[in-house]
Amino acid sequence: MISIVIPAYNEEKRIGRTLENYCSFFKKLKQKKEIKDFELIIVINGTKDKTEEVIKDYQKKYSEIKYLRFDRGGKGFAIIEGFKVALWGKGDLIGFVDADMATPPEAFYELVKRIDGYEGIIADRWNKGSIITPKQSPFRRFISRAYNFIVRMLFLFPYRDTQCGAKLFKRKILEKNIFKLRTYRWGFDIALLYCLKKESKARIKSIPTLWHDEKGSTVNLKVTPIMMFLSAIKLRLVHSPFKFIVRLYKKFSKEQFK
């Protein structure tokens, strides 16, 4: 069983195409007996649009679709809750993908085919073998490369791309660590990879991928990189002898806003 978690925040305009493409693709694989079974676990978080209604419509067509709804938002929170549901079920391989279908189903299936021998596998957009469309602006490439350089220095990661929204793990590694995972709004992917590395010495492979930069993203390219950088610093401090700095900051912030 392959369990694919999809966090969804205000995705009414894009989630339908993702559900249709993923379900039809994996149903064909199932019919050919290339996979045993699959499920899509959509986690609606903090949504204010009609994402839920769209998902309900597709549930009528595809029984493999499940969904959860939370008023609380955040990608990390949504993925962790989706992992928990997958672990209640029969999923042998459990992963997540973004709702905008920037990663097409055939690219996600490459993770499935190539995970053997590893506890996890992640898509790497910056691999020379990756195909990225349309070509990103020089500014966005600079921000991405600079951020990744900082992350690799802070956490001693071998991965060139920690942020791509396509990752897959074996059930056992998530079972061991599910209650150790933390949300970290802008730093969830780093926190997830660092937790698996630190707690279980997980072997995680990165591979080239297909990725399409979809329209409709709400990411602010001026603010988001700063927030991601600060989250990375905070996470590094939390896992260091200097974690008291984070506690002092939280205490000071609370006192300022009393």
pLDDT tens readout for residues 12-44: 999 999 999 999 999 999 999 999 999 999 999
8 lies in some domain: yes
> Do the beta carbons of residue 68 and residue 42 sit within 8 Å?
yes
243 lies in some domain: no
Instruction: Give residue for tokens 């590094």.
Output: 236
For the chain, what is the largest distance between any 2 Cα atoms, rounded to a whole number of angstroms?
62
12 lies in some domain: yes
Residue 227 in tokens: 């927030």
58 lies in some domain: yes
Its pTM surpasses 0.95:
no
Q: How many domains would you assign to the chain?
A: 1
232 lies in some domain: no
CA gyration radius, the chain = 18
**Average pLDDT for 88-99:** 94
103 lies in some domain: yes
- For residue 101, give the CATH number of its domain: 3.90.550.10
Going 210 to 219 to 233 to 143, the CA torsion angle's sign is positive
250 lies in some domain: no
- Structural domain harbouring 105: 2-214
120-154: pLDDT as tens digits: 999 999 999 999 998 877 877 888 888 888 888 88
Lowest mean pLDDT among 5-9, 70-74, 228-232: 228-232
Instruction: Give residue for tokens 């010495």.
Output: 201
189 lies in some domain: yes
